[in-house]
Each structure stands twice: as C-alpha cells, then as structure tokens.
Amino acid sequence: MAISDPEEFDLVVLGGGPVGEHAVGRARKAGLETVLVEQELIGGECSYWACMPSKTLLRPGHVLGAARAVPGAREAVTGSIDVAAALARRDWMTADWDDSGQVEWVEGTGGHIARGHGHIVAERTVVVDSREGTRTLVARRAVLVATGSSAFIPPVPGLAATRHWDNRQVTAAHTVPRRLVVVGGGAVGVEMAQAWRRLGSVEVTIVEAGERLLANAEPFVGEQLAAALEREGITVLTRATITRVGRADDDAPVEVTLEGGRVVTGDEILVAAGRRPRTVDIGLEVLGLEPGSFLDVDEQLRVRAVPGAWLYAAGDVNGIALLTHMGKYQARIAVDAILGGSATADADASAVPAVVFTDPQVAWVGLTENAARDRGIDVGVATVKTQSVAAAAILGEGVEGTSQLVIDKSRGTVVGATFTGPDIAELLHSATIAVVAQVPLERLRHSVPSFPTLSEVWLELVDTALSI
C-alpha cells in the first residue's frame, strides 16, 4: 500500500457532512488551504439518509393533506399517492446516493478532498486510509472534527441481533412495509411513522418508553401529535417498555414484546431511539480521550481536554444540538475562531430552533415552561389557538394548533416559543429572533404581521404576554 509524504494544509476537516462542508466553504472564503476527509459520501447523513430524504418522503402526504382541507381543491384529489413516483423523487433528491455534485462544489471552492477513513495520530496530524493507500495530513492551524453521529441501538434483549432498520434503511427503502414498528417517539420516529403510513403502510405502531411523544417539547405537543397520528391510523403506545425483540428468521415478521406481555408484530422495525457520536475509531485514545464519547467543547468549539487550541469539534459529534443548522452555526464560529476571531457560540444552547415536519407541524425554540421555571425565571405563559387567525381559515378546514410564548416577566422578554399546526414552521424564525435578540415585548408589539398570515398569532400572543 502506498504511503505518501506528509501533506500540509491550514485546516484539516475530518468528516464531510453538512457541517464539514460548511466549514470548508467558510475557510475557503477566508483563503485557508483546506482539506476535507470523508469515508463515505460528501454531504453526510443529512443529504442521503436524514434531513433531505425524510422531508422528501413526507412531502407528498403533506401536499395531499393540504389539498384535501380545501373544498374545491379536495374534489380534484381523486387518486392515491403514486408511491413509485414519490420514491423516485426521493432518489433524485439524494442524487441516487452519488456525491459527485457535492465533490464538484467542494472543489469549486478550491478545497481539497481526501477520500478514506481519517484518524488522528498526533497533534495536528490526521492519517487517511483508503484502498488507494495512506495519506498523512498535517494541519498548520487546526483540525476540525465533524464526524457526526449514527443511530443508537438500545440494549433491548434481541434487538441488535434482529434485522432492523435505522435512519439509513428507513429513508432509503424502495418498498413500503405493510407493517412498520417504530421504536422511539422522537422527531425521527414520528416523521417516519407518518411518512410511511401515508405512503401505504397498513399498520404503523410507535412504541415510546416515555410518557409522551417529542418529550423535549411542551407537553401539549406530544398530546396533540399523538391524537393527530392516531386519527390517521397510526397506533401510539407510550410508557411502553420493550422486553424482547426477535424474528424466527431474517425474513420472518418481527415480534416486539412489551412489559405486560403485549406483542406488536411488524414486517420491519425502525430503531429511532437516539444517536451516538462517531468517535470510536478516530484516534481519540492518542489524545487521552474516551473513544465513543461526545467531544466536549468550549464556546469557540475547541475540544476542552486538548491543549494547544488546535482541535475543534462541530456538529452532532459534540452533542450540543443534533441538528444541521446548529452544526453549521458551530462550523462558522469554529472557523472564525481558527482565523483568530473572538465570536463565541451561545454557551447554553438555550435558543435552539427545532421543527418536526409532521402534519401538524411542530416547531419550538428556547425554553419550555418547565425548563424556564427550573432556571428560576419569573415565568408567564401566553397561549393562542393557531386557528384563531384568518390565515388558518384560508389554509383550509380543520386547521388547528396551539401557539405559545414563555415569557420572562421580570425582564419583559420571550424565552421560549412553541407552535403546532399546518405550515407553522415558517413562524419559527420570528420567534428565534425574539428569543436570541431578547427583544422587549414592548418593542415586539410594533412588529406588525401581514394580513392574512399565520404570523398574526403574534398579535394576540404579545398582547396577552404584556397583560400577564
């Protein structure tokens, strides 16, 4: 096997997901000589097995649902989803799992690519192994780890040894399972349950160990979402602990046994029970760090335990907020820090915006009411029915949801916001600005939303908040 001479770059980025790519773009704009190390597809989980295919699989059902809510349009919807066409569109969205477009983009920035598995062997030094040989990359300024995460498979008896799906198989499937069991009622679980139910799965069962779906959001979110999913024929089992999973053989149905003896049977089982960092084999032991753990970083994304300010970690791998937009934000802060800038990331990550693209959509940012109380904030809550504004009636019949602000009464600012309802994801950025910029409610009342948009919920929310 060929071993090349060490090659020097200003920045070595380990992992070419959205976060690594974004870092390369920013570094190249600033003129840093940069190399991106990727062992699979440039674009990472997000482009091929997560955000992009999952949202594409949900889209046909959303469009149909929106049309069916509107008399006049409803009558034009006479057929069912063309599943083959829907899956073909997903294949197009993932470029058939071919990353040449993204390679072109990286090379277009003037960035270099090193294909293969990278691992740190010494300070500022990454070795990349591939079939073509071994390359040694030395970073003049920094190494940025952006190796992301993969599915966590919980230690349920029988599960690991049973053929199962994780986010990769569920987003890349080419046939619709007749019966799908979903382990986990977080964002991935609820989105994929609804997508495949609408694409034709006859039985879909979500098995969630906790009290409700989307446990990190306000309690009303999980309740509303469970009711909506059940209305379309999805079974939602909460407080359900799995004691055993198994199949008689690889082609046999999967049997999921719950505490109490109930057995849920499926043709496929999706494990959507969280994520674990891809840090097992990237050389952390050389640095005295624990392989397999999330990388603990400071507010400039430097790995705390490593002296010398040469090792950074952004995106899923640091465990702060496992979302593409937050990872890219961190990449911007990290590259700016590598360039000598002083910008720091919001340390407690208390203003992370998140959207769950189910129907109804769910979107939230900042603190929930309980989290705000736990922090000792003088909490006030303003709640409005999303359907109270004219735009909801225009969207269609049966449009329902809740819009809520959590207020810091003593400071007169918004510390959290949650919205449920169709198309409410677009409301979220206004809330994010209000929370992050700590806009006083007294000023927010002068931000006038257009008529008739769903943003008009802000009028009553702010009025109510001011009167608390």
Ligand X SMILES: Cc1cc2nc3c(=O)[nH]c(=O)nc-3n(C[C@H](O)[C@H](O)[C@H](O)COP(=O)(O)OP(=O)(O)OC[C@H]3O[C@@H](n4cnc5c(N)ncnc54)[C@H](O)[C@@H]3O)c2cc1C
Query: Which residues, including other chains, have CB under 8 Å from residue 122's CB and lie 6 or more apart?
Result: 286
CA 374 to chain CA mean position, Å: 25
288 touches 305 (CB < 8 A): yes
**Contact status: 283 vs ligand X (CB under 6 A):** no
Residue with tokens 């079939």: 131
45/255 with CB nearer ligand X: 45
Residue with tokens 């819009």: 403
Tokens of 381: 């809550």
| Binding test (CB under 6 A) with ligand X, winner from 18, 111, 222, 266 | 18
| Binding test (CB under 6 A) with ligand X, winner from 147, 205, 257, 300 | 147
28 to 67: interface string for ligand X, x by CB under 6 A: ---------xxxx---xxx---xx--xx------------
| Binding test (CB under 6 A) with ligand X, winner from 11, 12, 13, 16 | 16
State the nearest-atom distance from the C-beta of 375 to ligand X, in Å.
25
Site for ligand X in 382-411 (CB under 6 A): none
291 touches 280 (CB < 8 A): yes
| Binding test (CB under 6 A) with ligand X, winner from 278, 380, 401, 405 | 278
| Binding test (CB under 6 A) with ligand X, winner from 143, 221, 282, 345 | 282
321/441 with CB nearer ligand X: 321
50/226 with CB nearer ligand X: 50
Half-sphere exposure of 128 (CA within 13 A, CB side): 24
Q: Distance between CA 267 and CA 265 in Å, rounded?
A: 7
Instruction: Count the Cβ atoms, other than its own, within 10 Å of residue 308.
Output: 9
290 to 319: interface string for ligand X, x by CB under 6 A: -------------------------xxx--
Q: Distance between CA 14 and CA 12 in Å, rounded?
A: 6
State the nearest-atom distance from the C-beta of 51 to ligand X, in Å.
4
48/458 with CB nearer ligand X: 48
Task: Give the strand pairing for 413-421 and 361-366.
Answer: antiparallel
State the nearest-atom distance from the C-beta of 95 to ligand X, in Å.
14
| Binding test (CB under 6 A) with ligand X, winner from 56, 94, 102, 167 | 167
| Binding test (CB under 6 A) with ligand X, winner from 89, 325, 385, 445 | 325
111 to 140: interface string for ligand X, x by CB under 6 A: ------xxx---------------------
75 backbone φψ class: left, alpha, beta (φ>0; ψ -120 to 50): alpha
Element (H, E) at 128: strand 125-130
Residues 149, 150, 155, 156: is their CA dihedral positive or negative?
A: positive
| Binding test (CB under 6 A) with ligand X, winner from 327, 353, 380, 421 | 327
Question: What burial letters (b/e) apply to 103-131, b meaning 16+ CB within 10 Å?
Answer: bebbeebebbbbbbebbbeeebbbbbeee
Tokens of 82: 């063309």
Q: How far apart are the first and last CA of the chain?
A: 71
**Contact status: 208 vs ligand X (CB under 6 A):** no
| Binding test (CB under 6 A) with ligand X, winner from 9, 12, 20, 217 | 20
- Selected range binding ligand X among 16-24, 157-165, 176-184, 387-395, rule: CB under 6 A: 16-24
Site for ligand X in 175-204 (CB under 6 A): 188
- Selected range binding ligand X among 11-19, 26-34, 72-80, 217-225, rule: CB under 6 A: 11-19
HEC string of 318-371 equals HCCCCCHHHHHHHHHHHHHHHCCCCCCCCCCCCCCCEEECCCCEEEEEECCHHH
State the nearest-atom distance from the C-beta of 25 to ligand X, in Å.
13
Q: Distance between CA 14 and CA 35 in Å, rounded?
A: 9
- Selected range binding ligand X among 89-97, 105-113, 135-143, 322-330, rule: CB under 6 A: 322-330
- Binders of ligand X: how many residues, by CB under 6 A? 38
**Contact status: 148 vs ligand X (CB under 6 A):** yes
Binding site for ligand X (CB under 6 A): 14-20, 37-40, 44-46, 50-51, 54-55, 117-119, 146-149, 167, 171, 188, 278, 282, 315-317, 322-325, 327
